[in-house]
Structures are given as structure tokens and as C-alpha cells.
Amino acid sequence: MGGVSYPLLADFHPHGEVSRAYGLLNEANGAPRRAIVIVDKGGTVRFRREYPPGSLPTPEEILAELDGIAG
């Protein structure tokens, strides 16, 4: 992935298992809802926010959350 230094997740098999575990699977169409979930090194969810179709988080919003967790 061109220098990404952290693990990425693909929720392929079993299909939707991780999305479902985080309450993000749209059961009607079998696809996850758009969201950002930040999990700390201990496995605790520190941030979770869904975004409606057509909207995106701002980098500043996410960086502020990360700063709050690291600080």
C-alpha cells in the first residue's frame, strides 16, 4: 500500500463479520456504512462516527481525535 505503516482491514471473509461487530453493516445491501473507527493499541474503541452518503470527515476532525487520544 505504498508505505502504510499500520495494518489495514478488508472485510471479505466471512463477509461483513467486522462491520457487523462494530454495528456498521447495512444488512439490507450487505455493505458497511461509511464510518471511521479508531481503536487503540489495547483494542479499545476510542472513536466511532458514521458519515451519511456524500459526506466525508475533515482531516482536522480526525487528527484532533488522534491528538486527544495520544495526549
pLDDT in tens, 13-59: 788 999 999 999 998 988 899 999 998 888 899 999 999 989 988 99
Print the domain residue range for 30: 17-70
Mean pLDDT within 4-17: 81
pLDDT of residue 35: 93
Q: What would the DSSP string read from start to end of the chain?
A: --S--S-----TTTTTHHHHHTT-EETTTTEEPSEEEEE-TTS-EEEEEE--TT----HHHHHHHHHHHH-
9 assigned to some structural domain: no
- Looking at per-residue pLDDT, the higher value among 10 and 27 belongs to 27
Q: Domain count of the chain?
A: 1
2 assigned to some structural domain: no
53 assigned to some structural domain: yes
61 assigned to some structural domain: yes
pLDDT of residue 2: 67
